Amino acid sequence: MATGFPTSLDALTNPLSTDALTSPSHADQHANVNDAVEALQAKVGVTASAVVTSLDYKVSKPLNSEVLAAIILMDVGV
């Protein structure tokens, strides 16, 4: 299973300590979690990210006047 994040949330299986390593597949469990972590890292971004879709980029840039105007209009219910 490849991760569906960030467009959807994954439903990961938590195996029990009594489950065989093949049910669910031990390798698949690691692959699924690795895919999810990589997707999270891509979404969050690295420090001083230049990727405009990353959260780091978005929160580190000042808002321009158009964005501020839109926020004000939403806030007053226009």
Residues 6+ apart with CB under 8 A from 56: 44, 45, 46, 47, 48, 49
Note the Cα 33 to chain centre separation in Å.
Answer: 13
Long-range CB pairs of 72-78, under 8 A, 24+ apart, other chains included: none
| Tens digit of pLDDT at every position of the chain (78 positions) | 788 988 999 998 899 999 999 998 999 999 999 999 999 999 999 999 999 999 999 888 877 777 788 888 887 765
CB 4 within 8 A of CB 39: no
What is the maximum span of the chain, computed from C-alpha positions, in angstroms?
Answer: 58
Model's pTM, two decimal places? 0.69
Query: Residue 78's pLDDT is what?
Result: 57
